[in-house]
Amino acid sequence: SNAIGQEKQLTAKTNKGGIVLTSGDQDYKINFNGRIYMDGVHYFDDVTDLSSDASIHDVRLGTKVTWGKWIAKINIGFGNDEVKIKDAFLRYNYSKNSTFTLGNFFEPFGIEASASSGASNTTQAMGIGRSIGLGYTYYTNKFYGSTGVFAGSVDNMNKGDQGFSTTSKLAYTPISKENLTVQLGGSFTYRIPEANGFNEAFNDDDYNRQVVLNAGPEHKFLNADITGARTDMRFNFQALVLSGPFMFQSEFTQTNVTRDDDYMSRLMKDGPAFYVTYVWPTKPKDYPDWYGKLRDIQTKAYYAQIGFLVGDNYSYKSSTAYINRPKAGTYEFLVRYDNTNLNDIDGTYFNGAYGDADLATALTGVGNMSIAGGKAETYSAAVNYYLNDNIMFRLNYSLMDVTNQKYPLDEKIGMLKARVQVNF
Amino acid sequence: SNAIGQEKQLTAKTNKGGIVLTSGDQDYKINFNGRIYMDGVHYFDDVTDLSSDASIHDVRLGTKVTWGKWIAKINIGFGNDEVKIKDAFLRYNYSKNSTFTLGNFFEPFGIEASASSGASNTTQAMGIGRSIGLGYTYYTNKFYGSTGVFAGSVDNMNKGDQGFSTTSKLAYTPISKENLTVQLGGSFTYRIPEANGFNEAFNDDDYNRQVVLNAGPEHKFLNADITGARTDMRFNFQALVLSGPFMFQSEFTQTNVTRDDDYMSRLMKDGPAFYVTYVWPTKPKDYPDWYGKLRDIQTKAYYAQIGFLVGDNYSYKSSTAYINRPKAGTYEFLVRYDNTNLNDIDGTYFNGAYGDADLATALTGVGNMSIAGGKAETYSAAVNYYLNDNIMFRLNYSLMDVTNQKYPLDEKIGMLKARVQVNF
Amino acid sequence: SNAIGQEKQLTAKTNKGGIVLTSGDQDYKINFNGRIYMDGVHYFDDVTDLSSDASIHDVRLGTKVTWGKWIAKINIGFGNDEVKIKDAFLRYNYSKNSTFTLGNFFEPFGIEASASSGASNTTQAMGIGRSIGLGYTYYTNKFYGSTGVFAGSVDNMNKGDQGFSTTSKLAYTPISKENLTVQLGGSFTYRIPEANGFNEAFNDDDYNRQVVLNAGPEHKFLNADITGARTDMRFNFQALVLSGPFMFQSEFTQTNVTRDDDYMSRLMKDGPAFYVTYVWPTKPKDYPDWYGKLRDIQTKAYYAQIGFLVGDNYSYKSSTAYINRPKAGTYEFLVRYDNTNLNDIDGTYFNGAYGDADLATALTGVGNMSIAGGKAETYSAAVNYYLNDNIMFRLNYSLMDVTNQKYPLDEKIGMLKARVQVNF
């Protein structure tokens, strides 16, 4: 009968150091997962002092439950004593290599999906994290495609309508042999940034949309805060080559933000609000004249890295379009060059603002709101030791060659980072 | 021996999609539970702009452990990236149908125990959530009784002595046949609201007690903030009829708040505090003269809803005095009418305050502190689809007919809500 | 093969009311742990009003996973709706009685490791909690030694370089017979307090280091806030005697804080900052003249307690250097005397500040920044009932005899506390 059918015996197993309980018919399955990421960082700072620090960057608890073709995953982060909903989604396995996902999960963009602290500055600055949405993924041995529509991030508690985005990734692996894998891919996202708050006085929920791109130590030297944003479009190209113990990986990302500030709202806030018949002598159009015209902003970044394994060969995993974890006892050596440029500056910098390219015109006060988020070339070398399927040690040294108008005296920033990573 | 007795083999089973591990003698049992509630809401707002939104309203992880007659339950919420202790209690099964519970759990009041977002405005505004206390529950096939004493909510971190409440619910089910269940019940609670903070300067912990009743979108149109509260008494009548695939459910709730502001403290804060020999010319009794007299406040709300199942019949569960979850594959259609009135207004509204009913007297400045929390009639229609014991989809449309002095231009608010609910 | 070796069947067991799943070769093991601590406290306050309160002081969820010699433990606290990473560490069992631990865990200091609410005022005020670090522990039947280096606490989100500490504990148990255990021990810690924030304007990360020692109800009557701290050195002596149903336990702790405020930074903040060529007439050395000289601070505290069991005898556990939990059904009676002195006052209190001991000199304005954190003698009596291995009930009455300059009218504070403690 139905009631008997519902109660099933489960068998407990460990697989790759994790735990799973499964019913005999494989119809019911439950995993428990967790994570501890411990970090120590020492800065060899230049002029601006940086805070060397030991931290429990990420700690997580979670579970994954499977009922036939449906999977629910919960994974909550508690790093630095703050709650963050990581994965919280319901997934439907439509067919073997094809899934629908609804909830909070990573938007499919680039190789290094998550802007985690191990990622390149390129990915930290312009990568995209998790959002609430609906996604679809399909893959074969040679092809990986993932797309979705999203409605802002789970931690945006601001009032104001949430953002919107649609993000897609395609990866093609023309060569996928035992001793050579070559993958090329691209990603694209179109986004309406989230509103930052709601103005009760003006009943305005569409105000103060903002795109923030930042990376690196304390987000100091790479930090572009693009106010008055209207749309945010990004694309990414990726390449991955695996050959025995060698790996090459590279990504290029470009971000285009269009801007269109709501001068009417700003005026309303600044001046007395004669909401309907407006009489104050200032006009909304005076704002760009006074403070400079908003410019659309374009930023670019790329990195390339080479990896070398001692004790294992690299292998490719079609379902994630990325690399499998090396086996226990493997050492991994990595070098990376990263070039992240968050400047989009037009004209001359004069008297604290960006003026016209022509100095004479600039002197008349004709300005623009360029973005000087800074740029950096970063050289990194890392060694990882995979103790087993669950424990990894990492030592990383980076040298950042920085050019940032806000920190004119800083030139070279050294960073030595140690990490212990426990996953199950 | 004892030591051997303590170590017992456990058998793992899944039951209704959840997981439980049990010792052979049934003396030890452990469950793991979780939840994801994903919500999307689109407002068809009238004049005041509302923030349409997708959110992970509720995510939970927890466990329940049984040692013989003792049960400990932990269930923590992480919705919207905020921690909320939900259930955290120790329960003693005194006899088969009789339990004592100590810790954080729902006060027994009304049908829709929790003021969750699916609940009616009646319940959202005047229902009672979880508190820390000691409760006792007893039930038979025909009778359900639950009572408790409570000492404020777990998330009141304010200084000042916590609140107190005693809450009881009785439900009687005269007819409980296979094709007809009729239940009538009532609940009652008497409460001393929690103090909102402690005034160091005046060594005063009993100040600023407050009763807040609110419901609906962003708590805008239904929001009664009753300051100077002394006691809060509420009662509820409930009716439930199940007949095959039909269900009728209705609740009426009334709240009576007595008020008695501490004018002495207010004066102390306003004027220089000659604590012992008081000489300032203002006297505490001047306050009600200036700002109006506090009035005791009475608010009322009720709703009635009809449900219809396609694919199952409604069935009654004595231990919760409510309905069992319909079986997998069932559709549920619901319509509801809700009438929530958070106004208790006396006299004429004049010059920004409530004056005497007699306009001539009001003109002399004789006023009162009436509460204009707004009122709303809400018509809702919902369809639920129970995919299995763990996954449910819901679509709900509500139309709120609003009357609120603070939002005079808003009349009809439409809300379309979609929810995916995962429980195990 | 390796792949088959990785997938292993697990057996589920309950042990002391907890749950563990183990592989046949004992190489893989996973536990799940949880906790609920419910507290009610009623204050018989003297003059200053204290907030009587019921609270869920501590709720936790966690897990511990063993892969051979490696153990990862995660234990997260949600008490009072706040996230706290408790244990989050990776441990390596170097040999049977010798472990290395990396992550967030208790620094080894004194008997009552954790400054939990059940601890004496001595321990609350001067005990040390968890920090991020690397530790080593070794023990035999007669000897327990633990040492570590630490880099500040997990919840210090302030900018500024983190603190540093090295902490060690040695305990020697010359007599360890069935009817008599005698243990003596000592602990030592040397600490650089954590910086409280980073001053952007002065690029100063080493500013505002602070040692806060506090204990007792709402940290009101025992609270020493030692600003301008440079180093913090503490030592502890402990004694433990167990004899059948009797227990004697005592600790003495002394804290020595050296101070050296950064007058240059204070001056920079107060006056206009001519950073390089400094011209303002005030000089950094004027500060100690105006506000008093910083003094190094020494505080002392000790307690002694006697326990008596009805239903069991006390027994000693070498691996923790402490007592085993009494068996189910045992009553424990405890009395304690605690003397905590957080005053280090020099000279005469005159005109709102501490002057020179000689009144004539004090009148010239020569002062010092003494610390008047208050002192208290506390007499406590408690009864614990161990219902089983997982549930404990506790009733505790304490009378605090208080002397605190900031609360001159408070003399005797009574506290009645009830606790229900669930652990698994």
**C-alpha closest to that of C193 among C172, C220, C165, C223:** C165
Pick from A83, A102, A198, A207 the residue to mutate for testing the B interface (most B CBs within 10 Å).
Answer: A83
Q: List pLDDT tens digits, range A181-231.
A: 999 999 999 999 877 655 555 555 555 688 999 999 989 999 999 988 889
Whether B282 has a pLDDT exceeding 70, the answer reads no
Are the beta carbons of A402 and A376 closer than 8 angstroms? yes
**What order of strands is seen across the sheet that includes strand C353-355?**
C293-294, C367-369, C353-355, C349-350
Whether B8 has a pLDDT exceeding 80, the answer reads yes
Letter string b/e over residues A240-260, b meaning 16 or more CB atoms within 10 A of that residue's CB: bbbeebebebbbbbebbbebe
Question: What residues of B are in contact with residue A161 (Cβ under 8 Å)?
Answer: 51-53
- The pLDDT score that the predictor gives to residue C368 is 83
Are the beta carbons of B91 and B115 closer than 8 angstroms? no
Phi, psi for B259 (deg, rounded to 5): -130, 150
Bigger pLDDT: B205 vs B411: B411
Q: What confidence category does residue C274 fall into, taking pLDDT thresholds of 50, 70 and 90?
A: very low
Partner residue opposite A53 with nearest CB, options C8, C89, C162? C162
Q: How many domains does chain B have?
A: 1
- The pLDDT score that the predictor gives to residue B39 is 93
Contacts within 8 Å (CB) and 24+ apart, A273-277: A273/A201, A273/A202
Whether A233 has a pLDDT exceeding 90, the answer reads yes
Give the integer Cα–Cα distance in Å for C76 and C83: 7
- The pLDDT score that the predictor gives to residue B50 is 85
Under 8 Å CB pairs connecting chains A and B tally to 125
Residues in chain C: 424
From the centroid of its chain, how far is CA B364?
41
Q: List pLDDT tens digits, range B370-388.
A: 999 999 999 999 999 999 9
Q: Which of residues 13-52 of B touch C (CB under 8 A)?
A: 21, 23, 28, 30, 32
Give the integer Cα–Cα distance in Å for C380 and C398: 4
What DSSP designation does A218 have? G
Non-local CB neighbours of B160 within 8 Å, separated by 6+ positions: B194, B195, B196, B197, B198, B205, B206, B207, B208, C51
- The pLDDT score that the predictor gives to residue A264 is 65
Whether B202 has a pLDDT exceeding 70, the answer reads no
Burial class from Cβ neighbours inside 10 Å (0-12, 13-18, 19+) for residue B264 reads middle
> What SS3 string covers chain B?
CHHHHHCEEEEEEEECCEEEEEECCCCEEEEEEEEEEEEEEEEECCCCCCCCEEEEEEEEEEEEEEECCEEEEEEEECHHHCCEEEEEEEEEEEECCEEEEEEEEECCCCCCCCCCCCCCHHHHHHCCCEEEEEEEEEECCCEEEEEEEECCCCCCCCCCCCCEEEEEEEEEEEEECCCCEEEEEEEEEEEECCCCCCECCCCECCCCCEEEEEECHHHCCEEEEEECEEEEEEEEEEEEEEECCEEEEEEEEEEEEEECCCHHHHHHHHCCCCCCCCCCCCCCCHHHHHHCEECCEEEEEEEEEEEEEECCCCCEECCCCEECCCCCCEEEEEEEEEEEEEEECCCCEECCEEECCCHHHHHCCCEEECEEEEEEEEEEEEEEEECCCCEEEEEEEEEEEEECCCCCCCCEEEEEEEEEEEEC
**CATH number for C19:** 2.40.160.10
Bigger pLDDT: C164 vs C353: C164
Non-local CB neighbours of A263 within 8 Å, separated by 6+ positions: A284, A285, A287, A288
Pick from C4, C32, C70 the residue to mutate for testing the A interface (most A CBs within 10 Å).
Answer: C70
Shortest distance between the Cα of C55 and any Cα of chain B, in A, equals 6
Question: What residues of C are in contact with residue B86 (Cβ under 8 Å)?
Answer: none
Question: What residues of B are in contact with residue C218 (Cβ under 8 Å)?
Answer: 159
Residue A121 lies in a domain: yes
What DSSP designation does A220 have? -
What DSSP designation does A82 have? -
Are the beta carbons of B17 and B424 closer than 8 angstroms? yes
Q: Which domain holds residue B193?
A: 2-423
Is the four-CA dihedral A243, A244, A250, A251 of positive or negative sign? positive
Residue A191 lies in a domain: yes
Q: What is the DSSP string of C179-196?
A: S-EEEEEEEEEEEEPPP-
**C-alpha closest to that of A72 among B341, B373, B421, C252:** B421
* Tokens coding C13: 């067991």
Residue A357 lies in a domain: yes
**CB B121: neighbour CB atoms within 10 A?**
26
Q: Which residue of C has its CA nearest to B198?
A: C51
* Tokens coding B366: 């004789």
Shortest distance between the Cα of C222 and any Cα of chain B, in A, equals 17
Strand pairing class (C367-369; C293-294): parallel
Look at B82 and A83 and tell me if their CB atoms are within 8 Å.
yes
Q: List pLDDT tens digits, range C15-63.
A: 889 999 999 998 999 999 999 999 999 999 878 888 888 999 899 999 9
Strand pairing class (A210-215; A222-227): antiparallel
Residue A8 lies in a domain: no
**C-alpha closest to that of C390 among A250, B121, B71:** B71
Residue A107 lies in a domain: yes
Are the beta carbons of A406 and A48 closer than 8 angstroms? no
For the segment B279-308, the average pLDDT, to the nearest whole number, is 81
**CB A220: neighbour CB atoms within 10 A?**
18
Give the integer Cα–Cα distance in Å for A68 and B6: 36
For the segment A266-282, the average pLDDT, to the nearest whole number, is 54
Residue A244 lies in a domain: yes
For the segment B316-335, the average pLDDT, to the nearest whole number, is 94
CA distances for A273 relative to A159, B29, B67, angstroms: 22, 65, 66
For the segment B167-179, the average pLDDT, to the nearest whole number, is 94
A104 interface with B at CB cutoff 8 Å: yes
Phi, psi for B360 (deg, rounded to 5): -60, -45
Distance linking the first and last C-alpha atoms of chain A: 37
Are the beta carbons of B167 and B232 closer than 8 angstroms? no
Look at C424 and B9 and tell me if their CB atoms are within 8 Å.
no
SS3 C121: helix
Question: What residues of C are in contact with residue A218 (Cβ under 8 Å)?
Answer: 159
- Out of A393-402, B17-26, B312-321, C107-116, pick the least confident: C107-116
Q: What confidence category does residue A160 fall into, taking pLDDT thresholds of 50, 70 and 90?
A: low
How does the average pLDDT of chain A come out, rounded? 88
Q: List pLDDT tens digits, range B65-88.
A: 999 999 999 999 999 999 999 999
Question: What residues of C are in contact with residue A12 (Cβ under 8 Å)?
Answer: 9-12, 21
Residue A416 lies in a domain: yes
